[in-house]
Structure 1
Amino acid sequence: MIEESVLLESRTLRSSVLDRTDVLDRVKVLSLLPDGVHVTTAMVAAYFGAAVEGIRALVHDHRPELEASGYRVLAGTELSYFKQLSGIRSRTPSLALFSRRAVLNVAMLLRDSEVARQVRVHLLDMEHLARTQPVDNPGLTEPVPLDVRIDQRITHILGRTVVPMFNALIASSGEHRRELIELRQDIENVERRMCRHHKRLATPEGENPAENVRSTLKAMTWQAFEQHVVGLLRRDGCTDVVVRQTRSDRGIDITGLTADGRTVAVRCRNRPGRRTVPHADLQKFAGAARVLHRVDLALSVATCGFSHESRAIADLTGVVTVDREEVEAWTAGVRLKALR
């Protein structure tokens, strides 16, 4: 099992486990701002039983890493918009915000905190359990040929078990680091080739797979597109995936659980004739997924692009956008990164 000291020293290893934010609540309840997504510096300090100045010093020393995991400072128009969205009443000219991923990142950096130490212990226990338990995909409901099921299982194991194992080995290795990085790259190349191979097997000879995927998506009705996304979620290991029968959920079309137990809400937008998803649509979905239902993972999936304003709202609220190119790649067999 990986030692806690390796987690403290290795940014690569820390980055590989940032999605396991549920471990925070296993140790202590993390209070969130009214938006259901962010916490302030003072709230982070309270969670870890640390001084506010200590958290600020940690941010100063590791700012690029923390920004990559969701830390940001709002000011001006962006701060005003956030206050309006979340209902915060404050006259401060700037506001530092941490996402749950950023809080977990702090736990993996903060040495003088018993709460942070417990988070690291639970996190490493979960990673060890994930690597040693057999992988299963209960979402496959339709009969699939045995050789295809074996190939799919191998691809699944490569992505969810072998690559993370190499990440941990690379993080704890000194002498053979370069060789391990090259081996990991080889494994990732095999995974990509197997995904492409699966797609070629399903495509008639003489057809262009990319064009075939694009035309198939373009011909879908919005109901067919929702069912298509349901199938992709199940293929990637999600369970309890259902299409919402009512439209009173403010933009949530699909709900379910990821393979590692996170709650997920999905907004599907089949807009092949449109250029972008309007920001009002993204704002409504973000409010429903993050504030009303407080899901762990919110996905906005569209057959077009996202406007600059939409992406800004997504970044601010933690919504993961999946545009046309990503939907096509997902359809062609590439696993959606947010579900890994």
Structure 2
Amino acid sequence: MAEPAPSPPPPESTPPGPTPPGRSAAGAVLFAGGALVLGLLAAAVLVLLGRLVVAYWPQVLTALLFFGVLAGIVVRQRYVARRERRELRERAQLARVDGMSGPEFERLTADLLRRDGYRSVQVVGRAGDRGVDVTAVAPDGRPIAVQCKRWTGRVGAPAVRNLIGAVHSSYAGHTGAIVTSGGFTEPAIAEGTGYLHLIDRAALARWLEGEPLRL
């Protein structure tokens, strides 16, 4: 059988030729023309605005002042509204605390300590506890001794002095603290400074809101 004749080679493809000079030049002219038109329009708008400001500057200044004052009022109202909502939440939680018994307040304090990462939290308030109601271990390993006072009045210096004595005698090495739903007298603050952490009503409100307690 005769060998088939070889097929003719495919025709060579002709590479596309360069873009005609006229087409690229026309595109560049159109682009430059469009940019020039936009630039002229922008300049015309700026000139018009400038003339309006010059011609009506008292009205423009009044409008700017008006909108500035209005923006300030809106920002302040939002800030006041947020603050009032926060204070309302704090009052609502403090109102709940004000209705608690002493043991309930001790358990609440223990729960808040657990929430903040304190370990080995125990409610130990009982006869002979020397004023310590809750013990715990802080996240950094320090032992904590806490006295809880669900009071509406202010804690005085004698109570602070008694807890300082209890910490030094029965809870040596512990960091002492008093948590109260009331406040502290000035002598109590002076007595406890450098020896105890004094958590008053305002600090308790922040603690209830979720701010961690660092003793």
CA deviation string 1:286-322 (max 9, x = no partner) = 1001333213311111011111111111115x11100
For residue 228 of structure 1, give the secondary structure of its aligned residue in structure 2.
Answer: helix
Q: Distance in 2 between matches of 1:302 and 1:263?
A: 20
Corresponding residue for 1:31? none
| Cα pair distance change 1:277/1:245, threshold 3 Å | closer
1:319 pairs with one of 196, 199, 209: 196
Aligned equivalents of 1:214 and 1:247: distance in 2?
27
Check whether the contact 2:160–2:192 (CA below 8 A) recurs between aligned residues.
yes
Please list, as runs of the form range in 1=range in 2, the aligned pairs for 1:98-247 lying within 5 A after superposition. Answer: 208-244=88-124, 246-247=126-127
Give the residue type in structure 2 aligned to 1:320. H
The alignment's C-alpha RMSD in Å is 2.1
The answer for the alignment partner of 1:303 in structure 2 is: 181
How far does the alpha carbon of each residue in 1:105-161 deviate from its partner, in whole angstroms, 9 at most, with x for none?
xxxxxxxxxxxxxxxxxxxxxxxxxxxxxxxxxxxxxxxxxxxxxxxxxxxxxxxxx
Alignment partner, residue 24 of structure 2: none
- Among all aligned residue pairs of Structure 1 and Structure 2, give the percentage whose two residues are the same amino acid: 28
Q: CA deviation at 1:211?
A: 2.1
Q: Partner of 1:208: helix, strand, or coil? A: helix
In the alignment, which residue of structure 1 is the partner of 2:22? none
Selected match of 2:172 from 269, 290, 294: 294
Counterpart AA for 1:306 = F
Instruction: Say whether residues 1:271 and 2:151 are aligned partners.
Output: yes
Tell me, in whole angstroms, the C-alpha distance in 2 between the residues paired with 1:252 and 1:241.
13
- Deviation track 1:27-57 (CA, whole Å, cap 9, x = no partner) reads xxxxxxxxxxxxxxxxxxxxxxxxxxxxxxx
Question: How far 1:245 moved relative to its partner?
Answer: 5.0
Asked if residue 249 in structure 1 is aligned to residue 126 in structure 2, the reply is no
Quote the Cα distance in structure 2 between the aligned partners of 1:213 and 1:246.
Answer: 26
TM-score, normalized by length of structure 2? 0.57
- The question of 1:337 aligning with 2:214 is answered yes
Aligned to 1:282: 160
Give, as a single letter, the amino acid of the residue that structure 1 aligns with 2:133.
D
Cα contact 1:290–1:298 (8 A) shared by 2? no
Number of aligned positions between the proteins: 132
Q: Is the 8 A contact 1:240 1:257 kept in 2?
A: yes
2:138 aligned with 1:258, yes or no? yes
Moved over 2 A (4+): none
Give the aligned residue type for 2:180. A
Name which structure has the greater RCO, CA cutoff 8 Å, separation 6+: 1
Contact 2:151/2:180 (8 A) holds in 1: yes
Structure 2, unaligned runs of 5 or more: 1-81
**Paired amino acid for 1:262:** R
Aligned to 2:25: none
Partners of 1:286 and 1:319 lie apart in 2 by 7
